[in-house]
Amino acid sequence: MRQRAVSIDVTNKCNLRCRHCFYWRTNNPEELSIEGWKDIFRKLPKFIYCSWVGGEPLLRRELIEVGKERFLINEVVTNGTIPIPSWNDVSFFISIDGTKRYHELIRGKGTYELARENIETTGARYLLLNMVVNSLNYRSIERFVSEWSNSKVLWVKFSFYTPFSGGENSLFLPFDKRNEIIDEVLKPLKENYGDFIFISDSILESMKYPNCLEVTSNCPATRLILSLDCMGKIKYRSCGDMRACYMGAGAICEKCGHMTPHYLRAIYEVGDWEIIRKSIKHMPKGLALRAIKSLLPKNYLKKITLWNRQRTYNGKTDEVR
């Protein structure tokens, strides 16, 4: 299966020191110049999708401004404490780790209100929240969803904390606790909030133990995503099999809680229409159908085209071409 996307570490620098994060611990200030990145962009295969990560990628937004023109679909993963550019051709994934109390225990005092202010004041349309569920914040999931359900954000998604070699691993949730959260919290939230919860039934089952071990042992992300560090070099996974991993070499693969491998499995191996539909719905207008047509098996194209003609936003037809 050919690679479909690229993940780029814009920088290792970050303005926060989050308890669960591994990027700032690398203490590596080196970054490839913009001219160097331009050369890499010219040599890259024609990827449709790019995820701009860090560190805090908006600390180096000039690189994203140059690079995003190279890709049809772009997402920026940000902590939200830096003003969010009013780019309506980009999806912004803002990391909010629960309610204010728990978010600030993890990310620092004042970070919650600052992120909320930047979300409310940006002109960007495609705003999405990501909560990393851990042993500290899991009790706040339901209230977190309730607090944001009437905001500007289009949907929220969930991952579980992934432990790292030599990292702060007290935040790791045992597999039995993960299963309990999926069954007793995430499934009911999906039923109650509909498309606001960016997940599907097949993904929820895939993330449960022991199903998750089958996914992480043959991780779709390592096959479908080319992951580059801030020097433009491939990031390899920790188990020594020389496959690229956006989490980097320190991640403990068998305990990985990230949603992305399960999302990719749902699309490319299961053919999960529920998550395909949700993905199209909140992609930037005018780009979604083109991107999906280039990524999915041909038997889905007719179904997607018919559904796309019936899409509505605020009661008005909003067909993506």
- Reported for 233-242, long-range contacts at CB under 8 A and 24+ positions apart, including other chains, are 235/9, 238/165
Contacts of 214 by beta carbon, 8 Å cutoff, 6+ apart? none
How far is 148 from 157, CA to CA, in rounded Å?
A: 12
Tokens of 209: 């133990």
pTM for the predicted model, two decimal places: 0.89
Q: Where are the domains of the chain?
A: 5-286
pLDDT in tens, 141-190: 999 999 999 999 999 999 999 998 876 689 999 999 999 999 999 999 99
Q: Quick one: pLDDT at residue 285?
A: 65
Q: Quick one: pLDDT at residue 316?
A: 44
pLDDT in tens, 94-150: 999 999 999 999 999 999 999 999 999 999 999 999 999 999 999 999 999 999 999
Q: Which residues of 69-93 are buried (b: 16+ CB within 10 A; e: fewer)?
A: ebbbbbbbbbbbbbebbebebbbbb
Nearest to 94 by CA among 62, 119, 121, 61: 119
Cα torsion 55, 60, 65, 71 to 10°: value is -30
DSSP 109: T
Which CATH code is given to the segment(s) 5-286?
3.20.20.70
pLDDT in tens, 22-76: 665 566 678 999 999 999 999 998 888 999 998 999 999 999 999 999 998 899 9
